Amino acid sequence: MNPPPLAGFRVLDLTWNLPGPYTSFQLAALGAEVTKIEPPKGDPARHVPGLYEPLNRGKHVITLDLRDDGDRRCLEDLIRETDVVLEGFRPGVAERLGCGPEQVAALNPRAVYCSITAFGRSGERAPLPAHDLNVQALSGACHLARDASGRPHGMPLPLADLSASMAAVSSICAALLARERDGRGRALDVGMLDAILSWTVLWSRGVDFAGEVRRRTPRSGRGLVRRMVERLDRQRLHALPHYDLFRCRDGRWLALGIVDEDHFWGILCRELGLRGVGRWKMQTRLLAGPLLRPLIAARLLAADRASWLERLGRAGVPVTPVLTPEEALKDGPVRSRMVEPDGTHVRAPLPDARPPGWS
């Protein structure tokens, strides 16, 4: 029996939730030896065993507090012996913890470093917090899934997370192959928005050879998505009251992307003027969802979308506008990422998983 293709390769996984763990899950399925580093409180996904257990089967799990000098030295020893370092911190955090791309390259020049973030490591949105629903909204995916009344919906699968994982896996494998030729490691920058845009634009409109978005959406595909989403909406796709799409006074929609982050919930309550509930933990919020969601919706209906995006964004809440695919392609931060290494703009968005100078 032949060994799997990545047998003998070691992966150090510093991620949690979904995009990173699904990436290392696929690498493990291809034969890589994966060591997952978790903080003392554990991966937040441990609270969802049905997600955590299948994603992390076959991985070695080590608990390290990267704010502790001794644990950071342990991490450095692991970096020296690995082939791939996978991280999903917001830009700047990995550097503060001693595991940024330049720090890893200094410890192990042959290591392939892969960063998976919502908006990539560069650009105007790079430091902003976001989850899958926020990125779906920006990409045009929620607009594509609108129902018969025109209400947008989140796709029934975490497409931003999964598309980024697929881009990361292919890029890591390509970087390992390139390393066999030149002996050099690589620093890969995978943005969830970059990845899902390469799907939504092709799915929604098609792109011709001039890079112009066609005006007509294929009716068969659009109808299929609508029927699927309408059925799932009846089942309440998003149980969390603060992880959903909301209509604003001007008729435009925004996406709130708060999952289990109690601090984001407290900030949201302060900004919306919701009294007495800002300290509620996630389980309480989940149980009180039928009460909380109408309260949130009513508050957001009191002002235009631009006002809420500015106010909530300034406060640090994960919030994004719901855009059409056409609007997504005209978005300034998106266009700043649609650039080839030589500085020319690409004609259609594709995952930017190449480091500067890739050849």
Q: Which residues belong to the active site?
A: 161
The secondary element (H helix, E strand) that includes residue 99 is none
Residue from 40, 37, 129 nearest 86 by CA? 37
Contact 190, 351 (CB under 8 A): yes
C-alpha distance across the termini of the chain, in Å = 35
- Name the residue among 322, 277, 259, 269 with its Cα closest to residue 299: 269
Strands 112-117 and 186-191: parallel
Task: Give per-residue burial for 75-94: e unless 16+ CB within 10 Å, then b.
Answer: bbebbeebbbbbbbbbbeeb
- Tally of CB atoms within 10 A around 135: 32
Q: What would the two tokens of residue 89 be?
A: 């911190």
Q: Is the separation of the CB atoms in 192 and 132 below 8 Å?
A: yes
Helix runs in the chain, H state only: 19-29, 49-55, 69-80, 93-96, 101-107, 132-139, 141-144, 159-182, 192-204, 219-234, 262-272, 282-287, 289-300, 305-315, 325-330, 332-337
Give residue 186's region: left, alpha or beta (phi > 0; psi -120 to 50). beta
What's the CA gap between 195 and 171, in Å, rounded?
A: 12
At position 152, the amino acid (one-letter code) is: P
- C-alpha span between 63 and 46 (Å, rounded): 13
Query: What single string gives the DSSP state of each residue in 288-356?
Result: THHHHHHHHHHHHTTS-HHHHHHHHHHHT--EEE---HHHHHH-HHHHHHSB-TTSPBPSS-------T
